[in-house]
Chain A
Amino acid sequence: MKPASFDYYRAKSVDDAVSTLAESPFAKVLAGGQSLVPSMNFRLSTPSLLVDIGQLDELRSVAATPEGVTIGAAATQYAVESSAEAAAVVPGLRAALRWIGHRQIRNRGTVCGSLAHADPAAELPALAVATGATMELRGPNGTRTVAATDFFRGPFWTDLQAGEIITHVRFPAQAPNVTTRVNEIARRSGDFALVGVIASIGSSNGSVDTAVLSGFGLGATPVRLTAAEGVLHGKNTLDEPARMELYEAAYSDAGDPFEDVHASTEYRRESIASLVVRTATAIIDGSSEKGGRS
């Protein structure tokens, strides 16, 4: 398996990349290439031109402040995962990143590249939706900011317009009383998830007042499991009846997930409902379970 022929251009700046992209409708942006190159090996993707932004220093930053973490388009997943400062402000980042492929892939793959790729089974789009991240885009008409909830439009389809690139993504700081866990079911360690969930749950005075559940592998885009979130509000423990109620709610939130050779619609519904119960219980009742890769 080898990529079809294409031309390669190493951008000298973000503006240079944008103007080059604007001139070629069949161009693709190359950052880490960890989704794009395999997809080109399969010839699922046959761009005429690759515009490489992976070596642009202006996009390499991982900046953590008390308000949040801003990640440039050339910053690798491992650079973010290994940043103690980023993990302190947005703990969900490290928790989600550790589920992505393997170390060798995260050494080259980028956070923004995964968001732009918008695989419905990927962790980072779901994290972006769960945390209220915003994408900074630059294109021929200047820069604009898009909220994650408006950014993901469908499978491998985002709000990015022709000639636009993500220059940065900004994840807001997590509230101090919130805990985030990531859990997923995959056929093998490091494979794409069949289903997965990002759970951010916080309590005040012993009962849950913040509950965000973002599911992936369920539909065209990350899915907020709002009925299940509603069940969690006000709970101070998840006893057997509460767990049953949570399971039923998450099951109905799942809707009609797609089915493929690995998992039926029903299997995905039951799996996400079980994952939600397991993950929420671990947070609320303080289980010491490590939660797989996290």
Chain B
Amino acid sequence: MTDASKRGESEVRIKVTVNGTQENRRVPARLLLSDFIRDTVGLTGTHIGCEHGVCGACTIIVDGAAVRSCSLLAVQVDGSTIRTVEDLAGDGELTPMQKAFHENHAMQCGFCTAGFLMTLESVKNEDYSDHDDLLDLLSGNLCRCTGYQDILNAVTSVWETGTGPSS
């Protein structure tokens, strides 16, 4: 163990880009990415629900792909480009999906909303014209107010796709 501890470190310096801003921080090895985003960088739009990869509230985008930030260590994403919900309307203008959520009242308490928006943002250029595929995608984010129908309405109002035969 003594030999190995020479090779490992309990604190690690990481460099990441978060919503266009360079962050160069020394962090504990055990710091979760979700806590890095919220507590170290100070962006509290990313929510923490279950902390074991089930609820999707903490979903953010790392190098273009949606991930659970509670199931990653901050040190694992060293060198990455990160986007959080704060980046969506970074220029003050809501994205079409954010507008659709607003117009369809696709939320009740809003706790899950950031996660849904980031999941949807990450695949906005992909084909979700199959209704079952869309439901499967959305099942990765839990809404405990059970407002799924309004969320589905919001998504299908923006994506021409996603309005498959059974909807």
Does A associate with B in a complex?
yes
- Give the size category of A's interface with B: 35 or more
In contact, A34 and B8 (Cβ under 8 angstroms): no
Contact string, A30-60, partner B, CB cutoff 8 A, digits 1/0? 1001100110111000001111101000000
Note all chain B residues with C-beta closer than 8 A to A104: 56, 59, 66-68, 119, 140
Taken together as a complex, chains A and B put the C-alpha atoms of A108 and B80 apart, in Å, by: 13
Contact B1–A48 (Cβ < 8 Å): yes
Chain A residues within 8 Å of B123, by CB: 103
Q: Is the CB of A103 within 8 A of B53?
A: no
Determine whether the beta carbon of B9 is less than 8 Å from that of A8: yes
**Chain A residues engaging chain B, CB cutoff 8 angstroms:** 1-10, 20, 23-27, 30, 33-34, 37-38, 40-42, 48-52, 54, 78, 98, 101-105, 107-108, 188-190, 290, 293
The distance in angstroms between the C-alpha atoms of A148 and B103, with both chains bound, is: 52
B73 near A33 with CB under 8 A, answer yes
A41 to B33, CA, bound (A): 12
* Chain B 106-132 per-residue mask, 1 if CB under 8 angstroms from chain A, else 0: 000000000000010001000000001
Q: Which chain B residues lie closer than 8 Å to A33 at the CB level?
A: 71-73, 76
Per-residue contact bits, chain B 42-76, to A (CB 8 Å; 1 contact, 0 not): 00000000011110100100000111101111011
Asked if B75 contacts A52 (CB within 8 A), the reply is yes
Stretch in B24-32, B84-92, B94-102, B150-158 touching the partner: B24-32
- Residue numbers in A under 8 Å from B52 (CB-CB): 1, 38, 41-42
| A27 and B4 within 8 A (CB) | yes
How many of B's residues come within 8 Å of A, CB to CB? 38
Most buried by A among B30, B72, B137: B30
Shortest distance from the beta carbon of B80 to any chain A beta carbon, whole Å: 10
B10 contacts partner chain A, Cβ-Cβ < 8 Å: yes
Q: Which residue of chain B lies nearest to A31 when distances are taken between CB atoms in the complex?
A: B76
Bound form: Cα–Cα A9–B136 in Å: 36
In angstroms, Cα B55 to Cα A102, docked, is 10
B6 nearest in chain A by CB position = A23
- Which of A1, A9, A25, A101 is close to B7, meaning CB atoms less than 8 Å apart? A9
Known A25-B1, A104-B68; contact A7-B9, beta-carbon cutoff 8 A: yes
